[in-house]
Every structure is written in structure tokens, then in C-alpha cells.
Amino acid sequence: MSDILKSLIEIVGEKGVSNAPEELWFYSRDPGVLAPHKPDYVVAPKTTEEVQKIVQLACRENIPVVPMGNGMSLAGLVIPLKGGIVLDMKRMNKILEVNPMARYVVVEGGTSQGVLKAYLQKNHPTLRHSIPDAPSATTIAANVSLHGQGRLTNQYGFNSDMVTGLEVVLPTGEICRIGSPSIGPYWISKGPTLPDLSGLFLGWLGCTGIITKVGLKLYPNKKIRDAELFVTDRVDLIPHILYKLTHLEMLEDINVWFQPKPLMFLGNYHITIFFTGDTEEEVEFKRKMVWDCLQEYMDSKDGGFMSIQYMKPLLLEMPGRNIADFADVPKGGGFEYSGPIAPIEHFPQYAAKVIELAAKYNVLYASTARLISGGHCMMYSISFAFNRNDPAMMERVEQALTEATAFALDMGGIPWKPNFKEQKMTLERMEPNARKLLLMIKKNLDPQGIMNPGNWEVNP
Amino acid sequence: MTYIRHIEHENIVHRCFRCGYCKFPTDYSDFNCPSYKAFGWDTYSPGGRMWLTRAWLAGEIETSERFAEIMFSCVGCDNCKDQCVFPKFKDFLPEIFQETRAELVNEGRVPPGVRDYFKAIAVSGNPYKLPQSERGKWAEGTGLQPYTNQEYLFYAGCVGSYDEVGQKMAKSVGNLLAQSGISVGILGNKETCDGNEVRAMGEMGLFAQLAQANIEKFKAKGVKKIITLDPHALHVFKKDYPALGGKFKVLHYTEMLAELIKKKKIKLKSYPVTITYHDPCYLGRHQQIYKVPREILKVIPKAELSEMRRHGPDAFCCGGGGGNFFTDILGTAEDSASRVRVREAVDTGAQIIAVACPNCAKMLSDAVKMEQLEDRIEVLGIAEILERARK
């Protein structure tokens, strides 16, 4: 047994470490198209102190450390590109505090979206968090560390904007609290009115530290949720429609999607409009406002509301379990997407690009855009499904996604959860002093370069 | 020696997205896969098994003790099948895991506990290695007679026949059946193992042998209707025996007791107690029998039924399915299924965990002791509860 394995066992016990071929094989890959790379160890800590000791050991021995939630970014962000330790954080899954009056929750760094949802439903039914469409096993810390979005993103911004404080283990082993919990007992602000240090960790994909606790804003959970589905075949109208809808300032979420299968969806653009209320009266008022707002498109016969009687349970489900279905359309178990953040006025160009890329690479597409912060921008998902038993198809999907990211960068968009190749493409286009600042931060926080190496690596 | 590995559904294993919905109940309140809950590695989840099976079939990983442990730690609870979000292949997940175990059996690479189980069944006819002559002792004093063409055969199974907790359960059912005056008999020391766990663990040859012997015996004795104590036996009699020529009308004992209560052949007095009901996987998810046991408990005057958060189709397994009752691969640590389950039961405020399966009864009874909860809750079979309510 190696000294490192012995040391890891001393920290987390035998049941918390594995270097068995089965775990090394499984934790070397994610469900996306990127090639696997094996870790040397998989370690599952249960406490912040254990994480600290693991990082201190990694520091001493110069071993890479890759923190992992459920590994569902699909972009290979937890593939240990340079080996080392994969930290499976899911055993740190306690909900530590809910402050119902201040509307925040504090959770451990491996707590899943699903468990928090269930906990709030049972114990604080008037509160909710912004549930992403990722599977329920995905973790809150991973979601904010990659600037995830969720059901409340149209109203309140990226899920990382909803953070109210962090506890992190720095790459040099110190435990550090960020925001108001660094001063006192309340997890009410990740930054303001202090210098906002949360930006040193949010969006860094685990390259600057390991998030062991997250404070997260909670929001009113209205008694009724409902949805309408507006359909048009005029892609050029989409930005205008979205602009009008966001002007209402009363909608929970707005998603735009189009896909070629089943055939009933081909050629149309679908806008799912979600709204909530505590009374039927409130809901009906919002519905009327939505209909009135889009009346002109119905008058011009450019669009209309589709009956969603049978689809409604699926549309309202959180997370949307049927989203994963796309992976099985080619009977193959996989899909991956590029998700640039872009202005809504570019929707028609992105839509054309998706169709062009799908034809060029002979792959199946689905596309969904989610509005962010009332329409300041959107996350534009360019998704391609693949058959995991068809390496050539996986290669084509990878090429299509790379081209999609290049297109997004050309259009002035920024990639969401970029893989290591897309990070390089992004850094190449970044203003030199911004790139230099990233390098300064990374070098100062992680002087040995042990945290998720291969990601956000800036060459001097 | 190099094996060419093959399983019937190998054209499906690559379709798993490893999204993880399979680990949860419908409301996501906790992990609902007993082996994932106990071991905490993604490899021990249904998605992990799917991906590892694919790697193993492709020769990317070799057969190892750990691989075998991962495969045999599946308790066959069917939660993954119900929760998987891929309707086109979700129903095949348990079969894929069973076929992988069968292939490991073919290779002769199974955990020692599994090997010992097969040997005990093959040699002694029961997993306890106890004499066949003792198989019917549980029935002494119940008034049940040997089967001689009565309307029903009451089949106790291995756990009901030999395990102390199982015997108590079998005895209570036997008492009620005998006293209610229905035409029922038992095979006693002529009864043999039903083979459900043998099949679940992949020893298909031994299973075929057991099943065929049972079918021939039942037919020779003129058995047409069977009441089982054990939902595992119920399941295998209903699902697997017909394909081998064994077509019988099979009932779980709770179905029979519910009928007898309706016909007022079992009369109940007041029994003021709070009960929580634990759904056995082989009765619930496998056979879709959720209402009947609850209906029985609800008719007990002054008894109150308090559900656990995870109940019905979302119930958390006791950890005793898929042969784990005998092999104990899940272990008895704090996160083992049975201990988690009794803590959940205590949260309901109930004084009794009602069970309808002797495996669950034993698993949960042991867990109550391990959790030192004996002064707060006890585990009783439904017939045992009815016996108390008759006094």
C-alpha cells in the first residue's frame, strides 16, 4: 500500500477511499463526449476538516485534486485531466440551517438539489430554491461553482447570484468563510457590502478551492404554478416576443425551445411561459397579461397558444425528468450541449446555427434557451444527442460543439461551463489584462496548481 | 482462463445516462437505493452498475472481488426500475443486473457468502443447513394439517420455516388460517426452497432444479391454490414458475386475511396503538400489492396507521432482498438499509412496525436492536398484530 493511500485512509477511513479499478474506471469519465482520464484515488470526505486534511496532503505531495458533485456538467469538468484525487463530495449532504425569515439555507458542499427540494417541501413549504433542470442528484455547490441556472433565473439571475455566503477550503489548506458568515453568524450576503470574494470561487470550476458550505437564497413558494405555451414559426419574432414578455415583470421563467422530433414540433419555436400565484385570481390575472401581451402575434396569425393539457405535468415538473430523455433518442445514452450566454437579440442566428451544425455533422439536435435576469441575456443551449456505442458519432458531436462555441465567441457570447478546450478558446480571445488578472488570482490562490488542473489554465 | 461474456440485454447497457434519478424516491427526500446508501460510491448505484457492466462486457475492467460485491450488493428492490427516466429500457434494469450476476456465477467468481448460500441450498435444501426433518416444526400447535388435497397450500418458505423471527410470523398466520376454518394444509418437512433468491443471485441451473421439483410436487399433490408467507415466494411462483409449467393461483397471506376479515371469520377487538407499515419490495414494487396490508391494519379498532415518508411505491427496502438477507453484503453499519429504515419508522411516532415479509421482519428486528430502540418500537408481522387485536 502506498504512503499516500495510507494517509488518505487515516483521514477518511477505509470506506472513504478507493483505488480499485472499478471506481478509477467510473470516476475517470462523465456522460459527455470527452475522453476519460483515470484518477489515482477517489476519496469521499464527510466533513470540512477531512477535506482540509486531504488538501493539505495533496499540497505536500503535489497531487491534483478534483472536487466532484454528481458529475453531470456533461462537459468533462470533473474528469481528472492530470490524475490525482477525485473528491466525491456527496457524503457531505447535510442541510445545516434554514433561516425562514431571512429566506436562506446553508447546506454542505455535497447536498443535492433533490434533497433540498424535498426538505423545503416538508419543513418550509412556503420557501423554494431555484431548481435547475439538471437531474436531482446534482449538487448545489457544483451548480453555483459553474454558474448554473434554474427555475428562478429569469427573476433573480444565475444561481450563483443567489449565493449568500461560502465556506471553502483553499488550495493551500486553509478553511475560509466568504461574505457575511466571515463576520458573524448570518449567511445573508456573499459579498456586498464587503469586497466580494465569492468571485474567487464561483465560476472557477473548483480550480481555486473546494466549496464545503453554501448559503443560498430562498424565495417565496407560491401555492399555484402554471404555464402557457406560445408557438410561432417565425424565428425573427422571438427576440421581440421575449422582450415584451419580460416587460411584464411578473413571470417565473421563460424558455424557448425547438427540436425536430417528434415531428409535431418540427419547424416551430416554442416559448414556455411559467407563472405563479397564491390564488386562482392572481394566476388568471397573470395569464391574461401574458395573452394580452402576445395578442398582436395572434392577430397577425404569426403565432398562437398551444393547448398543453397533456404536457402540463411534464412542463411543470422540477427538475424536468423528461429532459434526460433526449439522451435516448438515438438509443445511445448521451447528449451534450454548448450553452453560451448571449443577448436575446441573437436568437435567430443561434437557431440557424444549430440547424446548420446538425446537418453538417449529421447529428440530432434539440435547443432550449432560458432567459436570465429578465432578459438581459439568455443561456442558449445547443444540444446534440449521440449513441455511446458509436465513437464516430461522438466525435462528430464533439466537433459540432467546438464549432458552436467558436460561433458563440464570434457573436460576442460567453461559453457556459466550457470544457478545457473551450476554456482555451475563451482565454485566447480575452482582453490580455483580464487574462493576466486571472493568472494572478490562480497563481496566488493555488501556487502549486493542484486544483482541478487542466481547467482555467492561463499561460503567462 | 478468458471468458467470453454475454448477457441477454447487453444491447441496452450503453443507453444509461447515469443521471442518478434511479437513486431516489419520487420526492427525492433521500437516497432510495440501499446499496448506494450503504456504500456511498457511484459504482454501487444502478447507473454505476450499468456503466461497469458495459466496461466489464467490453473487457475494460476484469472480474474482481469488488466487481462481484458491486453486483451482488444489489437487493433487487426495483426502485431503480420505477425511478429511471428512460421508459424504453427502464424495465430491463433489474434483469440486466441479474444477468450479470448469472454470468459471474458461470465464471465461478461470486462473493463467499453467495457461494455458501448456493452450497447450503444444494446440499441441505435450505440456507440454514438445518435438517429437512425440522422444516415443519414451526407449525406445531397451530392446528394446521399436512396437505392432503385441501383447497389451499400454505407455503412457509425457508425463512418462515427455520428462522426464529420468521417462525413466529408463520405461526401467527397458521393460527389464523387454521382457526378461521378454511381448507388449508402445509407440506411440513416435504416443503423445499422456492428458489427466488437462488434465481436473483444468478444460479439458474439450481433454480431450474428447485422450481421443477416444486412444480412436480405441487402437481402430484393436486395443489391448485397457494398462500405464501413470504412475498419472495409469491413473486417467484407468480412470475417465474408459469414459464416452467407451474401455473397455480397464488396469494399472499395478507390477501387471504383481508378476505377472512371481510367475511367476519376473523373478528377484531380494540387495540389502541400507532402502527407504521413497511412495504416489502417483493409485495409492493414487484407485485403492486400496497392497499391490502393497509386495509387490514385500518380495520383494527382504535389502531392508527402512520405512514413513513417513504412508503408505497417509494418505500425504502429493508436491505434483505436479492439474497442479501443471507449474504449480508450490505453489512450493518449506520447507513445500512435496515437501520435507516427503523430510524424512519421511529420518526412516525409508531410503536409497531408492521411487516408482511419474514425477511423484512428479521432485518428490521435486528436493526431495532442495533439502534437500541427496543423500548420505543417493535417489529411484528401483520398476523401477529391481528392476534393481539383478537385478545
Instruction: Identify all chain B residues contacting A325, using CB atoms and an 8 Å cutoff.
Output: 85-86
Q: Give the model confidence (pLDDT) of A220-275 as tens digits.
A: 999 999 999 999 999 999 999 999 999 999 999 999 999 998 888 999 999 999 99
State pLDDT tens for residues A297-310: 999 999 999 999 98
Q: How far apart are CA A109 and CA A167, in angstroms?
A: 9
In percent, how much of chain A has pLDDT > 70?
A: 100
Chain A, chain B: beta-carbon pairs less than 8 Å apart:
106
Q: How many CA atoms lie within 13 A of B326 on its CB side?
A: 26
CATH topology classification for A3-90: 3.30.43
> Given the C-alpha cell 475494460, which residue does it identify?
B60
Interface of A with B in 65-124 (CB under 8 A): 70-72, 88, 90-91, 112-115, 117-119, 121-122
The CATH code belonging to domain A224-410 is: 3.40.462.10
Q: What is the pLDDT of residue B1?
A: 57
Between CA A328 and CA A453 the distance in angstroms is 32
Instruction: Please report, for residues B43, B281, B364, the alpha-carbon distance to residue B329 in angstroms, rounded to integers and kept in the order given.
Output: 15, 18, 16
d(CA A369, CA A252): 15
Query: Which ipTM did the prediction report?
Result: 0.96
Domain chopping of chain A, boundaries:
3-90, 92-220, 224-410
Distance CA B224, CA B236 (A): 16
Instruction: Please answer whether residues A108 and A212 qualify as being in contact, where contact means their C-beta atoms are separated by less than 8 angstroms.
Output: yes
Chain B contact for A328 (CB, 8 A cutoff): yes
Phi, psi of B221 (to 5 degrees): -90, 0
Report the percentage of chain A scoring pLDDT > 90. 94
- Contact (CB, 8 A) for A200 and A208: yes
Alpha-helix residue ranges (DSSP H) falling in A124-187: 140-145, 153-156
What is the overall mean pLDDT for chain A? 96
Q: Decide if A160 contacts A174 (C-beta within 8 A).
A: no
Chain B residue with Cα closest to A32? B17
Q: How far is CA B235 from CA A318, B227, B241, in A?
A: 34, 12, 9
pLDDT for B14: 97
The residues in A 381-410 lying below 8 A from B, measured between CB atoms, are: 387-389
B64 touches chain A (CB under 8 A): yes
Q: What is the pLDDT of residues B70-80, one digit of tens each?
A: 999 999 999 99
Q: What's the confidence (pLDDT) of residue B391?
A: 72
β-strand partners of A371: A378
- Amino acid (1-letter code) at residue A460: P
Q: Which residues in chain B land under pLDDT 70?
A: 1-3
- Distance, in Å, from the CA atom of A413 to the CA atom of A419, rounded to the nearest integer, reads 16
Evaluate if residue A1 carries a pLDDT over 90: no
DSSP state of B374: T
| Short-list A208, A80, A73, CA closest to A143 | A73
Residues A363-422 pLDDT 10s = 999 999 999 999 999 999 999 999 999 999 999 999 999 999 999 999 999 999 999 999
Instruction: Please name the fold of domain A92-220.
Output: 3.30.465
Please write the tens of the pLDDT for every residue from B146-201: 999 999 999 999 999 999 999 999 999 999 999 999 999 999 999 999 999 999 99
| Cα B48 from Cα B42, distance rounded (Å) | 5
> What's the pLDDT score for residue A262?
87
The pLDDT of residue A436 is above 90: yes
If you ran DSSP here, which 8-state letter would residue A112 be given?
A: B
- Burial class of residue A402 in the structure, from the number of CB atoms within 10 Å of its CB (0-12 exposed, 13-18 middle, 19+ buried): middle
Contacts of B39 in chain A (CB under 8 A): 15
Would you call B16 and A27 a contact, using CB atoms and an 8 Å cutoff?
A: no
3-state secondary structure of A99: strand
Taking domain B268-390, whether its CATH number is 3.40.50 is answered by: yes
Beta bridge partners of A176: A168
Q: Which residues of B touch A44 (CB under 8 A)?
A: 40-41
Q: Where are the domains of chain B?
A: 13-110, 126-258, 268-390
- A453, with CB counted inside 10 A (0-12, 13-18, 19+), is buried
| Residue A7 amino acid letter | S
Backbone φ and ψ of A247, nearest 5°: -65, -25
For position A31, what pLDDT does the model report?
95
The pLDDT, as a whole number, for residue B2 is 62
Compute the C-alpha angle A121/B277/B98, nearest 5°: 90
Of residues A327 and B208, more confidence is placed in B208
**Minimal Cα distance from B309: which residue of A?**
A122
Domain B126-258 sits in CATH at: 3.40.50
**Cis peptide bond upstream of A319, omega within 30:** yes
Answer yes or no: is pLDDT of A325 > 90: no
The span from the CA of B237 to the CA of B160, in Å, is 16
User: Phi then psi for B137, rounded to 5 degrees?
Assistant: -60, -30
Residue A323's pLDDT is 86
- pLDDT at residue A324, rounded to an integer: 86
Instruction: List CB contacts (< 8 A) between A15 and chain B.
Output: 39-40
Is residue A334 within 8 angstroms of chain B, CB to CB?
Answer: yes
Task: In whole angstroms, give the CA distance from residue B145 to residue B187.
Answer: 9
